[in-house]
């Protein structure tokens, strides 16, 4: 039977070769050794030079044998008449998970390296700080792929002949492969493997984004960053150690074989690209920072807002794999949409043209596309919005080939390259063009439902407004009541801001010629408010998976687009201390920021502010009100005495860690060689900084007994504490003063749990009268806008003077953060962080009129009220922007906040 089938197939082939050229659809070749083809009389767009109006492409043994206008079809070639057709280099999907099956149902396995990616949810006992879930760099896409015609028919219908296929689950997901979309054995289809390492800021697979309570570490965005950093540092040490051992093994401990760290070696050496999935501007910025931090060969995948990061992308040389899975109009015209979502939809086709104009390298990718007709349709929209057809073709061919080191094999129609061709009837990006057939590895393949390109609609969307300019002209406020906080109140006085500083305070000051004059008559001027305990402008609050998560850092999750920045500036707040939540005995590292609206996150970080770390005591840590999820064990510690044990253990380990590094450095200083450096431990480094008085401990606390325990532990290890909340601080005010500890609390609003039952409104006054540096904080972005009112209550509950009350929201906060020489009061030479109020700020009816940070006006009440009509008009225009199809709007993660656990 088999012999007769083979004989019949051979006879059919011989008959076809002897007959005149038939239609392309009838010439698809069965799976066998590639035939020799000659495509004649076709328009050839080689991608490496000018188009050939009437040319021939010869294919032999899966390679391009010849191409040109004067090439003759070989006698043994199967001739394909290309009259009316255009031959392009095979299109490349620069980032996908094609051929990789969806993850299996959760099985409860751990998630460390050393095997296939685990289930994304359920108990994960193996996922800890040293072997985190989703850190699987040794995973190879080719080990996961399954090749079949059904999987590849969709992308092939859009003209795609090659795709980069990457693992789709976890964080450091593993190594991608560049694969031709043929139906042959996978080993024959692989062009390059591994081609790139892949990294995502979301969990992926069926588990969705990172979230508290989903299992093992990391369970948050900041945990992902910390886990990635630790893996890179471990890989660097592993490489150093292995090289040292290979050079001279005598006297050097042999490094244990580690498949994950082996896989990371070309990454840390900069030889293998690392693809970071990143769509929003802040995600792209974070990816660029990570690549720069470790000198990695970074690549951005997604890039929805890449046009907002053009300077950074150019400076870093990082290319973008730009998704053609554009946002769509909502299914219902009545469905409300945020202005940002409307802007995304209109801007998406314009991003490629902006990148091209700026000289940023990019390639196109299908993203999460389900409807494959969108692939060329949306590329056509990009062309209609300003991208040249030549640049669009490059983004689909040679650009991805270059990014993944396959430019000698793919990307253009040149002799010697792989015979991957996309054949169309019509220009690739023109409406009505049809993908006729493909050649992949020299085999002719006709898709079952080839795509016809839709005509791109003419753009009627409004032009983008110019980005807001930052003005730093001098500002003179005249004839105002100036509340200096530290030097009394000045009536009918002037304040001059120049070069970001308070230049002068006094009467009848003269203004520079370019100064803006603000009439302060009847108005009050005070220092910008300082909030010493905030969870504003962040994309994650807790890494709640482990008892000790000192390796995570709030710097990594700052969101410079957060509406909280605007709202707090509107309340006169200019500086905040951004804290990790209170889900852990030892939480993450804190960061002090200035609310410089409209600036990148990095530029908001307050230089010179005392770094901190968050600890927590009480029931938030023991999880009394948060029972374990089914199938998961409760996290240790379960009691308050267990919390002390965890801190004792952590600082003891930190001391041992410090001793190892001290001994290593001393030995190296004395000339020792062939020494393996200790492992850099991101969990213990911040604790060593605490012991060295380089980082302050912010401790969530309520009860006086647990505060005394913490104060005694701090004395034992030789550091000081900034108690946060500290509602029973008044009970131990003398002890806190004697220890030199500080406290930041709520003025009221504390009747929400048993731990807060003994809170009283006199807490602040009692502490201050005992000499404890005390502040009032918000703990969120809502209360932050009312801190002036909270301060005013201290004049009623405790009899504080006006200046003392103002100190609780200004100068004392500066002392707690170590920046009292910069902010916290109005004095010549200090930063020009200033708020102008329409009445005494200690009045419940007072409103902020203007807020300045470093002398720049970043909030103006009247200007913002006047701007509302123009914003409404812009939204109406964007809602009318064209969209050919109206499927349900796909979800976007751009504005989603990953506030894991909600424990603060």
Question: For residue 103, what pLDDT is reported?
Answer: 67
Tens-place pLDDT, residues 523-545: 999 999 999 999 999 999 999 99
Tens-place pLDDT, residues 382-397: 999 999 999 999 999 9
Provide φ and ψ at 484, rounded to 5°.
Answer: -75, -20
- Over range 804-819, report the average pLDDT: 98
- Contact residues for 370 (Cβ-Cβ < 8 A; gap 6+): none
In the chain, count of helices (H) and strands (E)?
26, 33
Of 81, 94, 57, 161, which is closest to residue 413 (Cα–Cα)?
A: 57
pLDDT of residue 11 exceeding 60: no
Strand partners, 497: 475, 502
Burial class of 343 by CB neighbour count within 10 A (0 to 12, 13 to 18, 19+): buried
Q: Specify the higher pLDDT residue, 510 or 898.
A: 510
- Over range 402-408, report the average pLDDT: 97
pLDDT of residue 6 exceeding 80: no
Residue 207 to residues 103, 121, 776: CA-CA distances in angstroms?
Answer: 10, 6, 39
Which residue in the block uniquely carries the two structure tokens 């051929």?
99
Tens-place pLDDT, residues 62-117: 999 999 999 999 999 999 999 999 999 999 999 999 999 876 544 433 344 333 33
Instruction: Please indicate, yes or no, whether the overall pTM of this predicted structure exceeds 0.85.
Output: yes
754 with 735: CB under 8 angstroms?
A: no
pLDDT of residue 757 exceeding 90: yes
Mean pLDDT across the chain: 88
Q: Specify the higher pLDDT residue, 639 or 209.
A: 639
Q: What angle do CA 732, 735, 739 make, to 5 degrees?
A: 140
Distance of CA 557 to the CA centre of its chain: 8
Question: For residue 871, what pLDDT is reported?
Answer: 79
Question: For residue 896, what pLDDT is reported?
Answer: 34
Question: For residue 327, what pLDDT is reported?
Answer: 84
Which residue in the block uniquely carries the two structure tokens 């969307």?
461
Position 267 confidence tier, pLDDT thresholds 50, 70, 90? very high
pLDDT of residue 878 exceeding 50: yes
Give all strands (DSSP E) within 404-562, no chain letters: 421-425, 434-440, 443-445, 475-483, 489-498, 501-506, 516-519, 524-527, 529-534
pLDDT of residue 850 exceeding 90: yes
Tens-place pLDDT, residues 610-668: 999 999 999 999 987 777 777 777 888 999 999 999 999 999 999 999 999 999 999 99
Tens-place pLDDT, residues 335-366: 556 777 777 778 899 999 999 999 999 999 99
- Can you read off the two tokens belonging to residue 210? 């990172």
pLDDT of residue 887 exceeding 70: no
- Can you read off the two tokens belonging to residue 283? 């995600």
Question: For residue 468, what pLDDT is reported?
Answer: 66
- Over range 810-826, report the average pLDDT: 98
- Over range 219-247, report the average pLDDT: 96
Question: For residue 257, what pLDDT is reported?
Answer: 94
The CA distance from 45 to 30, in Å, is: 27
- Over range 716-736, report the average pLDDT: 97
Burial class of 328 by CB neighbour count within 10 A (0 to 12, 13 to 18, 19+): middle
How are beta strands 516-519 and 421-425 bridged, if at all?
unpaired
Helix (H) or strand (E) holding 172: strand 172-180
| % of the chain residues with pLDDT over 90 | 75
Position 752 confidence tier, pLDDT thresholds 50, 70, 90? confident
* Mutual angle of helices 351-358 and 389-396, in 10-degree steps: 90
Give all strands (DSSP E) within 484-609, no chain letters: 489-498, 501-506, 516-519, 524-527, 529-534, 573-578, 586-589, 591-594
Note the helical H segments in 141-258: 141-144, 149-157, 186-189, 221-247
The CA distance from 592 to 814, in Å, is: 10
- Over range 302-331, report the average pLDDT: 92
pLDDT of residue 581 exceeding 90: yes
Q: What angle do CA 410, 411, 415 make, to 5 degrees?
A: 65
Position 52 confidence tier, pLDDT thresholds 50, 70, 90? very high
Of 774, 709, 763, 717, which is closest to residue 741 (Cα–Cα)?
A: 774
């Amino acid at each position: 039977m088999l012999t007769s089938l083979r004989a019949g197939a051979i006879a059919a082939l011989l008959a076809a070769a002897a007959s005149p050229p038939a239609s392309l659809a009838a010439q698809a070749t069965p799976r066998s050794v590639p035939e020799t083809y000659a495509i004649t009389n076709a328009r050839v767009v080689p991608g490496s030079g000018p188009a050939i109006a009437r040319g021939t492409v010869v294919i032999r043994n899966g390679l391009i044998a010849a191409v040109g206008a004067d090439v003759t079809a070989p006698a043994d070639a199967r001739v394909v008449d290309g009259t009316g057709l255009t031959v392009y280099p095979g299109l490349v999907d620069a980032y996908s998970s094609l051929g990789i099956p969806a993850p299996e149902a959760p099985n409860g396995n751990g998630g460390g390296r050393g095997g296939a990616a685990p289930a994304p949810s359920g108990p994960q006992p193996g996922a800890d700080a040293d072997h985190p879930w989703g850190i699987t760099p040794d995973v190879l896409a080719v080990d996961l792929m399954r090749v079949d015609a059904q999987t590849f028919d969709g992308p092939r219908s859009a003209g795609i002949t090659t795709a980069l296929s990457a693992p789709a689950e976890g964080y450091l997901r593993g190594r991608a492969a560049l694969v031709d979309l043929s139906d042959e054995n996978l080993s024959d289809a692989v062009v390059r493997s591994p081609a790139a390492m892949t990294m995502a800021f979301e969990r992926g697979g069926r588990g969705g984004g990172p979230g508290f309570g989903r299992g093992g570490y990391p369970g948050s965005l900041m945990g992902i960053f910390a886990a990635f950093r630790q893996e890179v540092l471990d890989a660097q040490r592993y490489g150093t150690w292995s090289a040292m051992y290979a050079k001279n093994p005598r006297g050097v401990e042999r490094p244990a074989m580690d498949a994950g760290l082996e896989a990371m070696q070309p990454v840390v050496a900069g030889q293998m690209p690392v693809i970071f999935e990143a769509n929003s501007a802040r995600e792209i910025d974070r990816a660029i920072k990570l690549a720069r931090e470790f000198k990695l060969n970074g690549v951005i995948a997604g890039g929805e807002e890449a046009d907002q990061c053009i300077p950074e992308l150019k400076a870093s040389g990082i290319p973008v794999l730009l998704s053609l899975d554009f946002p769509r109009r909502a299914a219902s015209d009545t469905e409300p949409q945020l202005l940002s979502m409307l802007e995304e939809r209109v801007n998406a086709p314009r991003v490629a043209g902006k990148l091209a104009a700026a000289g940023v390298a990019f390639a196109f990718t299908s993203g999460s596309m389900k409807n494959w007709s969108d692939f060329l349709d949306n590329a056509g929209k990009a062309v209609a919005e300003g991208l040249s057809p030549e640049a669009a073709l490059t983004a689909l061919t040679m650009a991805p080939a270059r990014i993944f080191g396959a430019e000698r094999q793919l990307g253009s129609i040149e002799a010697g390259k792989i015979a991957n061709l996309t054949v169309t009837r019509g220009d690739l990006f023109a409406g009505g063009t049809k993908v006729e057939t493909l050649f992949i590895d020299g085999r002719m393949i006709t898709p079952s439902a080839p795509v016809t390109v839709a005509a791109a609609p003419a753009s009627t969307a409004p032009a983008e407004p110019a980005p807001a300019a930052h003005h730093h002209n001098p500002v003179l406020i005249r004839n105002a009541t100036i509340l200096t906080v530290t030097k009394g109140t000045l009536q009918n006085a002037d304040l001059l801001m120049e070069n970001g500083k308070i230049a002068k305070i006094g009467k009848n000051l003269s203004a520079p010629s370019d100064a803006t004059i603000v009439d302060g008559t009847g108005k009050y001027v005070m220092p910008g408010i300082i909030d010493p305990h905030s969870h504003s402008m962040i994309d994650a609050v807790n890494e709640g998976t482990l008892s000790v998560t000192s390796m995570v850092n709030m710097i990594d999750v700052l969101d410079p687009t957060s509406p909280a920045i605007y709202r707090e500036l509107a309340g006169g707040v200019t500086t905040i201390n951004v804290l990790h939540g209170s889900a852990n005995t030892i939480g993450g590292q804190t960061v002090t920021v200035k609310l410089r609206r409209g600036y990148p996150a990095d530029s908001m970080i307050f230089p010179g502010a005392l770094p901190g770390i968050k600890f927590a005591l009480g029931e938030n840590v023991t999880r009394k009100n948060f029972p374990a999820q089914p199938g998961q064990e409760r996290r240790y510690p379960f009691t308050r005495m267990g919390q002390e044990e965890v801190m004792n253990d952590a600082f003891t380990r930190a001391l041992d860690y410090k001793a190892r590094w001290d001994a290593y450095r001393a030995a190296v200083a004395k000339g020792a060689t062939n020494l393996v450096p200790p492992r850099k431990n991101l969990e213990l480094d911040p604790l060593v900084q605490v012991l060295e008085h380089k980082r302050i401990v912010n401790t969530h606390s309520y009860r006086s007994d647990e505060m005394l325990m913490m104060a005694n532990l701090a004395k034992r290890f030789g550091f000081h504490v900034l108690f946060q909340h500290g509602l029973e601080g008044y009970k131990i005010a003398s002890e806190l003063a004697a220890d030199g500890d500080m406290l930041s609390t709520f003025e009221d609003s504390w009747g929400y749990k048993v731990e807060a039952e003994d809170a009283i409104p006199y807490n602040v006054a009692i502490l201050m009268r005992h000499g404890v540096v005390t502040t009032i904080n918000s703990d969120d972005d809502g209360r932050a806008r009312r801190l002036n009112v909270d301060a005013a209550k201290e004049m009623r509950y405790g009899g504080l003077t006006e200046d003392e009350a103002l100190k609780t929201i200004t100068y004392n906060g500066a002392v707690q953060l170590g920046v009292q020489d910069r902010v916290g009061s109005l004095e010549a030479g200090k930063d020009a962080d200033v708020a102008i109020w329409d009445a005494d700020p200690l009045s419940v009816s007072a409103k902020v009129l203007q807020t300045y940070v470093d002398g720049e006006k970043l909030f103006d009440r009247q200007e913002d009220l006047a701007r509302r009509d123009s914003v409404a008009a812009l939204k109406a225009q964007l809602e009318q922007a064209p969209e050919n199809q109206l499927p349900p709007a796909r979800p976007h993660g751009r504005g989603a906040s990953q506030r894991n656990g909600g424990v603060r």
